[in-house]
Amino acid sequence: MKFPLADKKPLKKRVFWTLVFTFVGITGFAGYYYGSIFSGHNPFLNLGEVVPGKIYRSGILGRKDIEKLVDQYGIKTIICIKGRESPEIKDLVRSSGLNLVVIKAWAEMPLEQKKLELIMKVLSEKPFRVSDYSELIVDWLGPDGDWVSLPGAFLIHCQMGADRTGFVVAIYRICAQGWEEKSARREMLRYFHLPQRYPRLWQYLRELNPQELCPALGFEYPPLAEGTKGEEK
């Protein structure tokens, strides 16, 4: 018995419309992304709050992002850990009277202890000697002189706000707020860190001895200040 061949037209139509919708979706996404970039926004800013009113985190910044963050959160000091800030952003920092500290970190490996020490000193708002860290500072827009302190609120950022920034925030959570390392690592996942891609960051935190590292970074460990022992729920 012979069966009639199935009509291939419906299949062709489905394939055609699938391709059309895929093309429209990709084109729309690209238009949204590049339109945001050209208008001074990062559409994937990955913004987060570390300490309300004091410390925030994000990915790479557009000029409109900075203006909004200054207005909304009172950002006064930007800590860039991706090794380079764009000339446009540096011009905006100067004209806005903000401070900028740029250091170089890699997502493939944990930050060296001295770089962590510099970041934590900045976040403490206590005076420190710039010359002690001159070899680590790629760019500096801030007070003149050797002994300085930088005011908050602070914004820490890298390229995506997931890996390098996530690692720095995890160290702060553990040393300044008394979080368990598991909670600090879970927070990294919420900001799109991929442990499989950068396993050294994950391994460092799992093997971290806070009793040794945290005092070396200038923290009393465990933290004794009221309200710092709570961890992520």
Is residue 226, in this structure, part of any structural domain at all? Answer: no
Predicted local confidence at residue 32, as pLDDT: 38
C-alpha closest to that of 130 among 111, 149, 112, 114? 149
Is residue 121, in this structure, part of any structural domain at all? Answer: yes
Element (H, E) at 87: helix 87-96
C-alpha closest to that of 204 among 108, 107, 110, 106? 110
- Whether 19 and 62 map to the same domain: the answer is no
**Model confidence pLDDT, tens digit, residues 150-177:** 999 999 999 999 999 999 999 999 999 9
What would you report as the CA-atom Rg of the chain, rounded to the nearest whole angstrom?
Answer: 23
Check whether 229 has a pLDDT greater than 60.
Answer: no
Q: Are strands 48-51 and 55-58 parallel, antiparallel or unpaired?
A: antiparallel
Residue 159 gets the label, from left (phi > 0), alpha (psi -120 to 50) or beta, of: alpha
- Whether 59 and 172 map to the same domain: the answer is yes
Predicted local confidence at residue 43, as pLDDT: 86
Residue 156 Cα distances to 81, 94, 160, 168, 229, angstroms: 7, 18, 11, 9, 22
Which residues constitute the domain of residue 105? 48-216
**Model confidence pLDDT, tens digit, residues 83-106:** 999 999 999 999 999 999 999 999
CATH number of the domain residue 89 falls in: 3.90.190.10
The count of structural domains within the chain is 2
- Whether 142 and 52 map to the same domain: the answer is yes
- Whether 66 and 160 map to the same domain: the answer is yes
Mean pLDDT of all residues in the chain? 87
Q: Tell me if 59 sits within 8 A of 162, measured CB to CB.
A: yes
CA 175, CA 61: separation in Å to the nearest integer? 27
- Whether 54 and 32 map to the same domain: the answer is no
Is residue 107, in this structure, part of any structural domain at all? Answer: yes
Is residue 2, in this structure, part of any structural domain at all? Answer: no
- Whether 165 and 64 map to the same domain: the answer is yes
- Whether 27 and 112 map to the same domain: the answer is no
